[in-house]
A = this chain, B = another copy of it.
C-alpha cells in the first residue's frame, strides 16, 4: 500500500447531514468519496450535483440506486451510515458482512443489544467501527487534557456541567424523523445527550460511573409517532468523587457549554460540540482568588484563554476533516482500533440507563 492510496468511501443514504461530510472527505487528503447511494438513484444524483456545485471533487462520485448495490461494489472500503437510528442496525450488519468499514451516526442504536450486534459483526469481519462524534477528533481535546492534567489549573476534578440544546421550529416538531419513536426513540437524548455523555466520559477517561439518573422534562411526537420522544431531558452521572450533570433539549435555543470544575479552578468550553465558525477553537480556564483584608472582600477574576490552531466547520483543519483523516488512516494501515467501538458501547449503555431512570421518575440506576 503506497502513500498515495486513499480510503475509498461510500455514503449510504443521502441525508442532509451527509453534505457536511462531503466537504470533510474533500479536505482529508487520505479520503476519497467514490459513491453515494439512495433508494432512488435520482436522489443520489441530486445530492451529488448539489454538493459538487459548492465543493467540486477531482472525480465526481457515482450515484447509486439502492443500498445493496453500494455494498456490492469492490471499489468501496468504508461506509458512512447516516440513516435514522431505527433503520440503522439492519444496514450496519450488512456493511460488516460486505467487509466494509463502518462510520456510524449517533445515537448508534435504539438499544444496547443492537449496538452490541453491530460491533460484534464488525469485529468478526475485521472492519473498523466508529461513531460519528466529530469533536473526538478535534485538537482542542488534547489541549483540554493538557490543562486538566497540569495540576495547577483544575486540580482534582469534582464536577462537570454540560448543556446542549437547540430550538426546533414547528415543522421539525411535526415532521422531522427525530420526532418519530420508531426512527429516533430517544429524541433529544439520543441526538444531543449522546454528545454530553460522551464528553463527560472523555473527561473521565472512560471510567464507568457508579450510577446515573435521568429526568424526562418534556416529550412529544409527530402525529404518526407510536410514542412520544424526549424533547427535554436532564441527568446526572455519578462517579467516585466526581459528579456530572447534563441537559439537552429541542425546546431551548442553541447552547453547548461544558464546565469542568475542580479543587483548584475550572475550565469552560462555550461550544464543545459544534465549534463557533471563524474562530480558532478555544476554551477559558479560571482560577479566581478571594482576598479578605478586614473590611475589603475582593473576588479577583483570573482567567486564561487557550486556543488551538484549528478552525470550525467547512475548514480544512476542522474536526470533521480530522475524523475522516483518522478513520481513513486506520483503514489504510489495515489495523482496527478497538477503542472506538468500546466507547460507543459505553455511551449507549449509559444513555439507556438514563432512559431507564427517567422511566422510574429519576431513580438512581446503578451501573455494574
Q: Using an 8 Å CB-CB cutoff, how does the interface string of A298-336 with B read, 1 for contact, 0 for none?
A: 111100000000001110000000000000000000000
A166 interface contact, C-beta 8 A: yes
Q: A257 — nearest CB in chain B belongs to which residue?
A: B259
Q: How far is the CA of A213 from the CA of B274 in the complex (A)?
A: 31
- Point out the residues of chain B lying under 8 angstroms from A261, CB to CB: 163, 165, 252-253, 255
Residues on B with C-beta less than 8 A from A215 are: 213, 236, 243
Chain B residues with CB under 8 Å of A19's CB are 292, 294-295
In contact, A263 and B253 (Cβ under 8 angstroms):
yes
**Chain B nearest CB, measured from A192 CB (Å):** 13
Instruction: Flag if B257 contacts A263 (CB, 8 Å).
Output: no
Q: Chain B residues near A163 (CB, 8 Å)?
A: 159, 161, 259, 261
**Are A255 and B249 in contact, CB atoms less than 8 angstroms apart?**
no
B-facing mask of A47-58, CB < 8 A → 1, else 0?
000110111000
11 A-B pairs besides A22-B295, A362-B362 with CB distance below 8 A are A20-B295, A54-B296, A155-B167, A155-B253, A158-B232, A163-B259, A163-B261, A167-B263, A215-B236, A245-B247, A253-B263
**A252-B263, A264-B253 known; A297 and B276 CB under 8 Å?**
no
Residue A293, interface by CB 8 Å = yes
> Chain B: which residue is nearest A251 at the CB level?
B158
CB of B236 within 8 A of CB of A234, answer yes
Q: Assess whether A296 is in contact with B271, with CB atoms less than 8 Å apart.
A: no
A-B contact pairs, 9 of them (CB 8 A): A19-B295, A20-B295, A245-B245, A252-B261, A253-B262, A253-B266, A276-B301, A295-B314, A297-B314
Interface of A toward B, CB cutoff 8 Å: 16, 19-20, 22-23, 50-51, 53-55, 155, 158-159, 161, 163, 165-167, 213, 215, 217, 232, 234, 236, 238, 243, 245, 247, 249, 251-255, 257, 259, 261-266, 270-271, 274-279, 286-288, 290, 292-301, 312-314, 361-364
Q: Is the CB of B299 within 8 A of A312?
A: yes
Give Cα A266–Cα B254 distance, bound, in whole angstroms. 8
Contacts of A288 in B (CB 8 A): 253-254, 276
Contacts of A314 in B (CB 8 A): 295-298
Q: Which residues of chain B are near A312, meaning CB under 8 Å?
A: 298-299
Query: Of all chain B residues, which has the CB nearest A295?
Result: B23
Assess the B279–A301 pair: CB atoms within 8 A. Answer: yes
Query: CB-CB < 8 A to A292: which residues of B?
Result: 16, 19
- Rounded to whole angstroms, the CA-CA distance of A128 and B19 in the bound complex is 64
If the complex has contacts A23-B295, A299-B313, are A252 and B262 also in contact, measured as CB distance less than 8 A? yes
Question: Which B residues are CB-close (under 8 A) to A270?
Answer: 301
A243 and B217 within 8 A (CB): yes
Q: What residues on B are CB-neighbors of A274 within 8 Å?
A: 290, 297, 299
With a cutoff of 8 Å between Cβ atoms, the chain B residues found around residue A50 in the complex are 294
Cβ-defined partner of A23 (8 Å) among B165, B251, B296:
B296
Contacting residues, chain B, for A213 (C-beta < 8 A): 215, 362
B-side contacts of A217, CB under 8 Å:
238, 243
Q: Is the CB of A51 within 8 A of B362?
A: no
Beta-carbon contact of A54 and B293 below 8 Å? yes
Contacts of A245 in B (CB 8 A): 161, 234, 245, 247
